[in-house]
Amino acid sequence: MKNTYGHLLYMLASLVIISHSSGLIADEHIVPQNGQDKQLEESDDAVVSFSSAYFERFQPQTALEMVQQLPGFQLDNSTNDTRGFGGAAGNLLINDRRPSAKQDVPSTILSRIPSGIVERIELIRGQARGIDLRGQSVMVNVIIKTDSPAAVRWEANVRKSFEHGPLVPDLSVSLTDSLLGLEYNTGFTIRKTAFGRFGLDKVFDGSGNLIENRHDSRENRLPYLNTNLGAQKYFGETLVKFNSIFTIDNFNQFLESDRVPVELSIDPRDEFFDSKTHRTKLEIGADAEREIINNLKGKAIMLFYYEDENSFQSQRVLNSFDVQTRFRVSDKDAITEEIIGRVEFDWTGINQHLIQANFEGAFNTLDGSLEQTLDIGAGPVIVDVPGADSVVDEMRWDVLVTDTITLGQYELDLGIGAETSTISQIGDATQERSFTYIKPRIALSHTTQEGHQTRFRLAREASQLDLNDFVSATVLEDNDVALGNPDLRPDTTWITELGHERRFGRNGSIKLTLFHHWITDVQDLLPLSANFEAPGNIGDGRRWGLEVEGTIPLEWLGLAGAKLDIKARLQDSTVVDPVTGINRELSSVSGHGPLSYDVDNSYAYDIRYRQDFSSSRVSWGWSVISRADRPLYKVNELDIFDEGASVLTFIETSRWLGVKIKLSWENILDFTESRQRTVYVGERDLSPVDFKEVRARTRGSHAYFIVSGTF
């Protein structure tokens, strides 16, 4: 681990040195001298504006592809898990306004907007035009052209695994147009993802002796349908907006595990795990905005979300004579609803002050049930699972008042908020609890015309509860039960950040951020007995670290049209382990999956290289994404997951008829995904090891052929 930290620190230091070197070698003033064709304009210290001409060399088809090429900017795409609506739009604005959506993530919204109707894109790094930044250090603002003609955006691709699986199609179409003053965007996406994982698992006894080999073959299929409709229209001086998405999402997984004991006296067996999950989701949002009186603007927002999920799992065990010896079934249903009402007021009646007041009420509910049966030869028998049937409600009220004061190159953001919520549960557990939190915040930033910005932020935030944690679920593959906890409460965090950003030339940026979080009521796995745990609050904890983000142009190396985008994080954390009473790091998320950047582990990095040849309209590049292993601390288990790294390369062109053709090769090196699961006889680290599972699986490399365009 020390070597890993050393390499990462060396990499971060090298990138900072390179960025400053490139700025010295290739630095240009941000405002081009030729006023006839400005690709980049500086409106003031707080706003950097990129015209549509700036993005031409990247051959973008959508607003998303334009935003992805902004130097030093990372789109916040994790907003659907935020508490309430206040932070749901992340760091995205469209025509100075936040999208009225929560589950419809920013990248998806931008992917529906054709690049041809984008006039410019702004990076907002301070107070401008009375925009509510909501604590964000930087916002992206996509400005859409007025009176644009109808535009259809389409994309079709096929995916082929080099090792297994059929050709997988994907099609998305969206239409942007206006009718009688009504501007609208509608479209659909159809996808049928299929992939697999194969490998050898080994099981060792408590003394480290190999006792069983498992040859695993896992196949996953994910048919997916998404439709959307968004519209806006002025009624007099009131702007009314409407957004809706409807999704049908299926996840079908089949695992065949051939289990061969080393001891010849023990017969081999085959175990089959079948999992089918069907989700139907609907979100409808609407808002109305207008100037109420001089210097006072108001906005009212309503949002409704509905999700119906059914999850069916089965485990079938056959002996060496193909006779079934065990059949277990788990059937879980969950209906989730969220209703949010929110009003916002912005007042600019005092010079150099922006005073904002936001009021929000939200009602969340989950109706969950779980039924489990076991058949070992005499017929199915119902298995009692504590906490399997529950209805959970949360009623929450939130208020926030802020004053943003602009004093030349300095900006001070002061705010005070309060939140109260009541959580009630009926079913296997019946109780009601109420919580109240005071949430102050302060941010001070200093921005200069030379492209420097230094920012300090201190704020208290409350986490979003996952109501599914109140209801029990089964994990058949691990022969385990994830119990629900009716006593779960949100954790709160005091966040401190100190960051410095340096923009250089037209295309370069580097940003360093130090952070330290003090967490109260850390959400982790809470011991209930020597063998069972549930999501719960385990005490106070901390996390701290360093983040670096940047875009480094590489012309100074002789690589015309080339750049390097980097994002990396070093982090440590501590909390008192509820089992051992000794300090340890925070648990991370479990399971295999895409390389998500924002999780609790010691490091993560995302490095992307791109080179554009403007005259030939050809681009190519590569990326490397990796993160540290992710520990999960259970009462009698320690699970450690590691996906290795993901390496990708691509080449694309739009030379013919304005159609973009892209070929990408993903997971080139096919790193092994591993899991080490150590199960103890009793409590973890306080009792002997019962057995250890070591999993090593690969999913193969695969190619995408993508064709997209607009008309």
pLDDT tens for 251-269 read: 898 999 999 999 988 999 9
Look at residues 61, 64, 103, 52 and name the one whose alpha carbon lies nearest to residue 81: 103
Residue 36 has pLDDT above 50, yes or no: no
pLDDT tens for 269-305 read: 999 999 999 999 999 999 999 999 999 999 999 999 9
pLDDT tens for 145-185 read: 887 889 999 999 998 887 766 788 899 999 999 998 899 99
* Contact between residue 95 and residue 143 where contact means Cβ atoms under 8 Å apart: yes
pLDDT of amino acid 86: 66
Query: Rounded mean pLDDT of 84-88?
Result: 67
Query: Rounded mean pLDDT of 215-219?
Result: 87
pLDDT tens for 319-365 read: 999 999 999 999 999 999 999 999 999 999 999 999 999 999 999 99
Domain ranges of the chain: 31-149
pLDDT of amino acid 28: 34
* Contact between residue 331 and residue 371 where contact means Cβ atoms under 8 Å apart: yes
Instruction: Give long-range contacts, CB 8 A cutoff, 24+ apart: 555-562.
Output: 555/26, 556/21, 556/22, 556/25, 556/26, 559/611, 560/611, 560/613, 561/57, 561/611, 561/612, 561/613, 561/614, 562/609, 562/610, 562/611, 562/612
pLDDT tens for 540-591 read: 999 999 999 999 999 999 999 999 999 999 999 999 999 999 999 999 876 5
Query: Rounded mean pLDDT of 40-45?
Result: 52
Q: Percent of the chain at pLDDT above 70?
A: 89
Query: Rounded mean pLDDT of 437-441?
Result: 95
Residues 6+ apart with CB under 8 A from 251: 220, 222, 275, 276, 277, 279
Place of tokens 């859409």: 144
Query: Rounded mean pLDDT of 369-393?
Result: 90
Beta strands 541-553 and 603-613, pairing class: unpaired
| pTM score of the predicted model | 0.87
pLDDT of amino acid 46: 73
pLDDT of amino acid 23: 40
Query: Rounded mean pLDDT of 603-623?
Result: 94
pLDDT of amino acid 700: 83
CB atoms within 10 A of CB 15: 19
Query: Rounded mean pLDDT of 523-544?
Result: 91
Look at residues 664, 673, 669 and name the one whose alpha carbon lies nearest to residue 707: 664
133/124 Cα distance (integer angstroms):
9
* Contact between residue 144 and residue 94 where contact means Cβ atoms under 8 Å apart: yes
Residue 641 has pLDDT above 80, yes or no: yes
Alpha-carbon Rg of the chain, whole angstroms?
27
pLDDT tens for 110-153 read: 999 999 899 999 988 776 666 766 667 788 999 998 878 899 99
Split at pLDDT 50, 70, 90, the class of 596 is low
pLDDT of amino acid 479: 83
pLDDT of amino acid 683: 94
pLDDT of amino acid 439: 94
580/657 Cα distance (integer angstroms):
65
Look at residues 480, 622, 610, 604 and name the one whose alpha carbon lies nearest to residue 545: 604
* The pair of three-digit structure tokens given for residue 424, joined into one six-digit string: 């009630």
* Contact between residue 129 and residue 97 where contact means Cβ atoms under 8 Å apart: no
Query: Rounded mean pLDDT of 383-387?
Result: 86
Helix (H, G, I), strand (E, B) or coil at 133: coil
Query: Rounded mean pLDDT of 90-104?
Result: 83
- Architecture per CATH, domain 31-149, reads as Beta Complex (2.170)
pLDDT of amino acid 31: 33
pLDDT of amino acid 129: 67
